[in-house]
């Protein structure tokens, strides 16, 4: 398609900001109960903003991911891009993630237009490869996966979808950001039965479907950026979860393809109130 007016396209950065919001409680159904329905009396205290049942489910999911020493997962996502006209156009992507704590990460991505990329971290450097143009960039950066995710998102302002799911501090991050959380229902139409939760943070509304059987892993996430024009959404389905994969060192070692050109990394520089730069391009 040549020069469509909806060529404006950008990735969203769901989870690091995803669970960082607040607002009124979601109009959710209560979790299933064996007891008789209770009458609501006037003057009865309002429901707390954080539903205990929902928080228990969400915490189990967060603890499972935070304590996993390694995992692999496939993420099939779509996201809205709001055009100048206000029209929303949906684009898609697929990501294959390999995480090996404390310092191994590999994310292969393919966008809906066929473009492919690779992001890797080996404890010493962050490498980014544009497969189609056969160019790559590297940043020398020692540390853990947690360090790297924060560096990419907070310092470099890189859009890293669902980044919060990669850090070992996930339970604390959720607790700090959540303003409301409700249990919606037991969803029997997902690939496996799931507990459907809805929550709000300061910046986004989100829904998450967590497996009700077996390991409590996320099966689907929807995020609404309520502060952005047009309130675009990001949607992701998770599949092929493996919490005990056989990760080979070669999978986490970056070797540029034959003929690949190394290009410089342009780092956004923050300026102090006095106008001096806190960082410099590398």
The whole-number pLDDT of residue 279 equals 39
Query: Residue 272: exposed, middle, or buried by beta-carbon count in 10 A (0-12, 13-18, 19+)?
Result: exposed
Top-level class of domain 52-262: mainly beta
Q: Write down the domain spans for the chain.
A: 52-262
Dihedral Cα 91, 159, 191, 28, nearest 10 deg: -100
Alpha-helical runs (H) found in the chain: 14-18, 52-67, 145-150, 170-177
pTM (predicted TM-score): 0.80
Tell me, what DSSP letter sits at residue 253? S
Query: Rounded to an integer, what is the distance from CA 184 to the centroid of its chain?
Result: 21
The whole-number pLDDT of residue 106 equals 96
pLDDT along the chain (282 residues), means of 10: 44 36 28 44 75 97 97 96 94 96 96 95 95 95 94 80 90 94 97 96 94 97 93 96 95 95 76 46 33
């Amino acid at each position: 398609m040549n020069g469509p007016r909806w060529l404006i396209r950008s990735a969203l950065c769901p989870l690091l900001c995803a669970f960082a919001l607040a607002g009124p409680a979601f109009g959710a159904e209560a979790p299933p109960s064996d007891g008789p329905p209770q009458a609501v009396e006037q003057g009865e205290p309002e429901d707390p903003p954080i539903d205990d049942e929902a928080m228990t489910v969400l915490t189990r999911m967060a603890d499972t991911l935070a304590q996993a020493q390694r995992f692999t997962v496939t993420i099939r996502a779509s996201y809205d891009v709001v055009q100048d006209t206000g029209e929303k156009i949906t684009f898609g992507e697929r990501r294959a993630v390999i995480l090996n704590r404390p310092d191994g990460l590999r994310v292969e991505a393919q966008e809906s237009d066929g473009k492919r990329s690779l992001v890797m971290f080996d404890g010493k450097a962050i490498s980014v490869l544009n497969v189609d143009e056969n160019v790559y960039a590297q940043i020398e950066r020692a540390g853990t996966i947690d360090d790297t995710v924060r560096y990419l998102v907070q310092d470099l302002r890189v859009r890293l979808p669902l980044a919060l799911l990669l850090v070992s501090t996930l339970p604390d991050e959720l607790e700090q950001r959540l303003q409301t959380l409700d249990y919606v229902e037991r969803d029997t139409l997902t690939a496996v039965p799931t507990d459907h939760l809805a929550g709000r943070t300061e910046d986004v509304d989100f829904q998450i479907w967590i497996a009700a059987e077996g390991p409590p892993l996320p099966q689907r996430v929807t995020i609404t950026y309520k502060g952005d024009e047009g309130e675009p959404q990001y949607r992701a389905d998770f599949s092929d979860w493996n919490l005990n994969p056989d990760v080979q060192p070669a999978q986490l070692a970056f070797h540029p393809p034959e003929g690949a050109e190394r290009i410089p990394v342009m780092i956004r520089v923050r300026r102090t109130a006095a106008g001096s730069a806190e960082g410099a391009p590398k």
